[in-house]
Amino acid sequence: MKIITLTTDMGINDYYVAVLKGNLFKLIPDAQIVDITHHVKPFEISNASYYINAAFENFPAGTIHIIGVESEPIINNSEGAYPAIMLFKGHYFIATDNGIFSLILKDEQPEGFWFIENVLSNPSGFRFPTKNIFVPIAAKIAGGEKIETFASPSDEWKVVHTINATIEDNLIKGQFTHIDHYGNAITNISKALFDRYNGIPFTIYFKNKQYFIDQISHSYNEVTPGERLALFNDAGLLEIAINKGATGGAGGADALFGIRLGDVVRIEFNPRGSAETITSLFS
């Protein structure tokens, strides 16, 4: 039984996702198909990469991940985007080389990368490439065919850059990059970056310093319902939330604080310590 995940911007109101699954079952009858999401913002590969990076390592090695976002091949200009396969951390990713692979890799290297060139002779398949190109390729991989028999190896792929959190002296500056179903506002500040400061007292500011938080929670219920909190989520990214803020129609952190994607988040560190830590030295 082969696990195949789907990440698309197709939504769930149309028949497109059902068509994908139906064709997968025709070609791989024992497939186990898992939806990562079909609510990627249309054509936004950076949004797609957030979902994929947060999810894929929770699946066993050998899982095949189909990414149907901005997937139509482009073959008529110097910056062509071709269907491709990437093997990374034991997982197979099938997508069009539009920059999505570089966003999954970040600064790492894949175990293998191949372009699928033989499909380019049939442009009619471009109308629904996720079905007409990616699904048959997934079936070949699931069936154990050697990738080299139907794809050409390469050590180059399209690289796109995202805005990363930055360090400036005793400051980490990032931004809100995702709002989840609960209205939790997720940033591009990683726990690894935060941990470089090794326990130095800090204050998190957002919305032009209108709001602040000066501690990291380990779970939502560490604060009372309706209170703000900051934590590092399961993907290792700083998140601003309201405990149970999404219940009763009150809205999550995004609504209550007026947070928008792209808003700046600042973590200011005070190496000399807070008043509480200074007092504790003499107690």
Q: Are 212 and 203 spatial neighbours (Cβ–Cβ below 8 Å)?
A: yes
pLDDT at 248: 55
pLDDT category of residue 163 using cuts at 50, 70 and 90: confident
Predicted confidence (pLDDT) at residue 214 exceeds the cutoff of 80: yes
Average pLDDT over residues 167-194: 94
Task: Match domain 3-153 to its CATH number in 1.10.10.10, 3.40.50.10790, 3.30.70.141, 3.40.30.10.
Answer: 3.40.50.10790
Q: Are 35 and 6 spatial neighbours (Cβ–Cβ below 8 Å)?
A: yes
| High-pLDDT (> 90) share of the chain, % | 78
* CA nearest neighbour of 202 among 257, 124, 150, 276: 276
How far apart CA 244 and CA 188 sit, in angstroms, is 23
How far apart CA 94 and CA 19 sit, in angstroms, is 17
Strand, coil or helix: 151: coil
CATH architecture of 166-280: Beta Barrel (2.40)
pLDDT at 204: 97
Range with the poorest average pLDDT among 171-175, 181-185, 232-236, 268-272: 268-272
User: What residues are paired with 206 via a beta bridge?
Assistant: 211, 265
Range with the poorest average pLDDT among 77-81, 147-151, 193-197: 77-81
The domain segmentation of the chain, as residue ranges, is 3-153, 166-280
Average pLDDT over residues 152-170: 92
pLDDT category of residue 33 using cuts at 50, 70 and 90: very high
Q: Are 145 and 114 spatial neighbours (Cβ–Cβ below 8 Å)?
A: no
Strand, coil or helix: 154: coil
- For residue range 219-266, list pLDDT tens digits in order: 999 999 999 999 999 999 999 999 988 755 667 899 989 999 999 999
Q: Are 7 and 48 spatial neighbours (Cβ–Cβ below 8 Å)?
A: yes
Alpha helix locations (H) across 159-202? 191-194
The reply to whether domains 3-153 and 166-280 share a CATH topology is no
Predicted confidence (pLDDT) at residue 277 exceeds the cutoff of 80: no
